[in-house]
A and B are shown apart, each in its own frame.
Chain A
Amino acid sequence: MRNKHLHAKAACCLCFFVFIAITATAQEQQDIHLSGSIQSDMLFSTQDAKDGSAQKHDFLTNTYADVMLQSQYVDAGTRLEYMEKPLPGFENDFKGWGVPHFWVKGKLSKAELTAGTFYEQFGSGFILRSYEERSLGIDNSLLGARLVLKPLKGVTVKMLSGKQRHYWKWDGGLVSGADAELSLDEWLPTLSQHETRLSLGGSWVNKYEKDEDIFVDPTHRLNLPKYVNAWDVRANLNRGPWGLLAEYAQKTQDPSFDNNYSYANGHVAMLSGSYSAKGMSVLLQAKRSENMSFRSQRNRLGTSMFINHLPAFTLDHTYTLAALYPYATQLAAGEWAYQTEVGYNFKRKTALGGKYGMNVKVNYSYVRAIQSAWLKWGSDTYYQDLNIQLTRRLARDIKLNFMYMNQRYNKTVIEGEGELIHSNIFVADALFQLARNTKLRTELQYLTTRQDQHDWAFALAELSLAPHWMVTVSDLWNHGDTKKHYYLGQVTYNIGAHRIQMGYGRTRAGYNCSGGVCRFVPETEGITLAYNYNF
């Protein structure tokens, strides 16, 4: 069995390298374009193993090599992935290597047909979003076929069917769907004359999954629906600086591990309004979701095999302490989520703007539990974030960014244990232009809370010597509880399309999140090496 498995992998790799050889030959023809990338993240662990972290002296790597061939009528691509000894924090099934991506696309003026693996999103992704997020170990691409048609001006129709990637298997149900988007402004001259764009969209997704034995007690098993249907309607209106997006999606009975095998339908509704003019922007968003966890395998848990994705209505923070407690969308339990953001640019040579002007941005997000009655809130606050950012140039060669953030984070709901953490975070970020090609950026951050591991401090200095070198040192220090330092030193070298980064340091255990999806990362300590190349 093991030999058969190895032979299959060897065959896949052979195909990958044959593909590269063919594309390299084909590139000699002028109308064919070859592109690709290599990404390799490596860790040489120097700490003793504990709680699922790396073993001492382990060499771990997540490596990806993509190749794509483009021509007038046909595109094709493939990807080799090597995670036989992956970086810490990924699900067990993530481990492996092979060629999980291979696709060919035929293109005509009004039609496009893809066979193999592909990514797709319908609308905001409420009922279908297949995507890749390497830092989280997410790749829910579909293996099958997709047809995209543009039969009339302003009309796009997509149809697809396939099986979702589940790390190194395609063992979920069959996912099929269709999406139609109509740009009315291309049909109605009145709209385009008034600089108004209006598009209407509708989608439908079906999951077929075979029956299985799931018992609720020793003598009763569930009568499971083999087909689950989901549909989505949306309207997007833009006129001048104003924008409005309304979207609603519903899912039929889909008893799953995530929803405690509930037979209730799922719903999500979203309304988003924006205003964006020179010097000022406003965003207002509200979303209510309930029972919208939609996977291609009903008894799956963890981060794999999601067919859909609900965006988190919270700001994705980049500052270390602001991102210490990141929010993850509660797909199955549901949530009421609100977000508002106001940005204003104080002009130069005004009382508040000073000599160089000043930008102020205020963002507020609030996520709360739901009740079965649509407009009522549940009792728990899941997340709250009020943050104010001021960006101002102090002198020609000094730029400052200050942030204050007030956060409430319901650790019990988001991580499954803990308490409601109420924190205040302060950030000062200064950029100094030391010489024409030399920049120094420094960060000082402080988080104070009475809960969890109490107070944290963070400092960073990043020296950039353009165009090749960057040196970064930082220290994250928990002085409220563990007194532990998480220091990091890195040197980055860029040349052409190559980027090499080498460092040594310790990272804390915690959650790494992106777009409302999180994964737990255990503590690591060791030498890190990263290599990126695009061609």
Chain B
Amino acid sequence: MKKIKIIYLLFFASLMAACSHIDEADQLIYVAPDIVEECPPNSALRNVLLEDFTGQQCVNCPRGTKVIEQLQEAYADRLIAVGIHGGPLGFKGNAAAIGLATDLGDTYYNHWQLEYQPVGLVDRHGAVNYTDWFTAVREELAKPSKVSMQAEASISNGQVSVSIKTECLDGTYNGMLQVWLLEDGITATQKRHDPIDNDNTTINDKNYLHNHVLRTAVNGTWGEALSVAANEPATKTYQLPLDAAWVSTNLSIVAFVYNDSGVEQAIKANITIKE
């Protein structure tokens, strides 16, 4: 028993001496940008899909949006963010206020068994807290992809036309092709801290600007099956009617291919208006 006591006391003495106070000037460590701009043969640069599960009643969600803005500034088009409104903190609207949550958003939220908001899926490798999005996006960007994609979309005569070309660069890719329609620049209510980093004050911001909001799925909730072999690109086209609630100049489409291993490639294209 005496030996045990001595071992215990030595152990605790060493832990008590282990103090790691970090001065303000030393709290951040610079890490050089790690953007892969060349990829191995038979592969393409990967764009990363970030599905942001958000809600207008979620006070912390604008913090997730702030992370997305920083990621977009750093990685431009290679980061494709989609705001999926739904879940318990989503708002479907009423006579007085615009709601951005959809049944589609609820379906995705429940399917992925998400528990909190904001939370994200980065290339569909499981739920990621918004504070970890930087790390997860950085890791995904470093991986080459075996699929390359091209997308075109236009509006003509009240119809949105979409064309997606998918090419496999190595072997065969089997998965699903999903196409979504997004809208930027929607002014609607949002609960948030004021300022965003301050926990102690909460406001209902009626003039909050919502970007990259998922409006609808172009080709079904889970997309359609796709199998592409090397040097045999596949092109899929879709049409859907333009909803009067959408501002056509702010619309874009996002297309991505995925399977049980996650999202392999994603692409975003603005919609051109051909009236």
* Contact status A149-B116, CB under 8 Å: no
CB distance from A230 to the nearest CB of B (A): 12
Asked if residues B18 and A380 are in contact (CB atoms below 8 Å), the reply is no
A260 CB contact (under 8 Å) in B30, B32, B132, B199: B199
Chain A CB within 8 A of B202 CB: yes
Tell me the nearest residue of chain A to B199, going by C-beta. A333
Q: How long is the Cα–Cα vector from A369 to B134 in the complex, in angstroms?
A: 31
> A206-B15, A260-B199 are known contacts. Are A51 and B132 too (CB-CB below 8 A)?
no
Number of A-B residue pairs having CB atoms within 8 Å of each other in the complex: 135
Q: Is B75 interfacial (CB-CB < 8 Å)?
A: yes
A225 touches B12 (CB 8 A): no
A225–B15 Cα gap in the complex (Å)?
A: 13
Nearest neighbor of A161 in chain B, beta-carbon distance: B11
Task: With both chains docked as a complex, state the minimum distance between the C-beta of B97 and any C-beta of chain A, in angstroms.
Answer: 14
Indicate the size class of the contact surface on chain A. 35 or more
Q: Mark B251-274, 1 if CB is under 8 A from A, else 0.
A: 000000000000000000000000
Q: Does B59 contact A412, Cβ atoms closer than 8 Å?
A: yes
Q: Is A416 touching B58 in the complex (CB atoms < 8 A)?
A: yes
C-alpha gap A217/B134 in the complex (Å):
7
Interface centre among A204, A213, A380, A520 (most CB of B within 10 A): A213
**Residues of A contacting B134 in the complex (Cβ-Cβ under 8 angstroms):** 214-218
B interface footprint on A169-194 (CB within 8 Å = 1, 0 otherwise): 00000001010000000000000000
User: A154: CB under 8 A from chain B?
Assistant: no
A113 to B5, CA, bound (A): 10
| Alpha-carbon gap, A213 to B139, bound state (A) | 11
Question: Complex: how many Å from CA A261 to CA B27?
Answer: 10
Are B116 and A302 interface neighbours, CB within 8 A?
Answer: yes
**A373 CB → nearest B CB, Å:** 13
* Assembly CA distance A261 to B132 (angstroms): 12
Q: Is the CB of A113 within 8 A of B4?
A: yes
Cβ of B254 to closest chain A Cβ, rounded Å: 21
CA distance A216 to B29 in the complex (A): 10
Do A147 and B12 contact each other (CB < 8 Å), given the known contacts A253-B22, A263-B27? no
Smallest Cβ-Cβ distance to B116: which chain A residue = A301
Task: Kindly state the separation between the CA atoms of A55 and B110 in the bound complex, as whole angstroms.
Answer: 12
What DSSP secondary structure best describes chain B's contact surface?
mixed
Q: Across the interface, do A227 and B31 meet the contact criterion of CB distance under 8 Å? A: no
The residue on B at minimum CB distance from A418 is: B57
Q: How far is the CA of A301 from the CA of B18 in the complex (A)?
A: 26
Chain B residues 6 to 41 lying within 8 A of chain A, measured CB to CB, are 8-9, 11-12, 15-16, 18-22, 24, 26-33
Complex Cα distance A206/B18, Å? 9
Partner of B29, one of A161, A223, A333: A223
CB of A92 closer than 8 Å to a CB of B: yes
Cβ B15 vs Cβ A208 within 8 A:
yes
Residues of chain A within 8 A (CB-CB) of B174 are none
Q: Which of B9, B31, B63, B201 contacts A220 (CB 8 A)?
A: B31
* A31 at the B interface (CB under 8 A): no
- Chain B residues with CB under 8 Å of A413's CB are 202
Give the one of B106, B110, B134 with max A CB within 10 A: B134
- Cα–Cα distance between A147 and B2 once the two chains are bound (Å): 12
Within 8 Å CB of B74, what residues of A? 217-219
Complex contact B15–A176 (CB within 8 A)? yes
With A176-B11, A208-B18, A263-B24: A214-B75 Cβ-Cβ less than 8 Å: no
Q: How far is the CA of A489 from the CA of B60 in the complex (A)?
A: 40
Question: B63: which A residues are within 8 A, CB to CB?
Answer: 260
* Count of residues in B whose CB is under 8 Å from the partner chain: 53
How far apart are the CA atoms of A223 and B28 in the complex, in Å?
5
B138 contacts chain A at the CB level, 8 A cutoff = yes
Q: How far is the CA of A432 from the CA of B15 in the complex (A)?
A: 61
Decide if B191 touches A222 in the complex (CB within 8 Å): no
Q: Which residues of B contact A260 (CB under 8 A)?
A: 63, 197, 199
A252 to B22, CA, bound (A): 10
B110–A51 CB distance below 8 A = yes
Q: Are A223 and B16 in contact (CB under 8 A)?
A: no
Contact A92 B27 (CB under 8 A): no
- The answer, yes or no, to whether B1 is at the interface (CB within 8 Å) is yes
Question: In this complex, what residue of B is CB-closest to A90?
Answer: B115
Contacting residues of chain B (31-64) with chain A, CB-CB under 8 angstroms: 31-33, 55, 57-60, 63
CB-nearest residue of chain B to A91: B115
Q: Are B113 and A92 in contact (CB under 8 A)?
A: yes
Most chain B C-beta atoms within 10 Å of own C-beta, residue among A108, A204, A217, A413? A217
Interface residues of B in 116-148 (CB under 8 A from A): 116, 129, 131-132, 134-135, 138
Q: Known contacts A379-B201, A380-B201; decide if A219 and B30 are in contact (CB<8 Å).
A: yes
- Closest chain A CB from B132 CB (angstroms): 6
Residues of A within 8 A of B135 (CB): 213-215
Q: Say yes or no: B22 contacts A159, CB within 8 Å.
A: no
| Per-residue contact bits, chain A 126-163, to B (CB 8 Å; 1 contact, 0 not) | 00000000000000000000010100000000010100
Q: Which 7 A-B pairs have the closest CB atoms?
A: A215-B134, A218-B74, A417-B57, A225-B20, A227-B18, A333-B199, A206-B15
Q: What are 30 A-B interface contacts by the 8 Å CB criterion?
A: A52-B110, A111-B1, A147-B5, A147-B8, A206-B15, A208-B18, A213-B135, A215-B135, A215-B138, A216-B28, A218-B33, A218-B74, A220-B29, A221-B29, A227-B20, A252-B19, A253-B20, A253-B22, A260-B63, A263-B24, A302-B116, A379-B201, A413-B202, A416-B57, A416-B58, A416-B59, A416-B60, A417-B58, A417-B191, A418-B57
* Residue positions of A touching B, CB distance < 8 A: 51-52, 91-92, 108, 111, 113, 147, 149, 159, 161, 176, 178, 204, 206, 208, 213-223, 225-227, 229, 252-253, 257, 260-261, 263, 299, 301-302, 332-333, 369-371, 378-380, 412-413, 416-418, 520
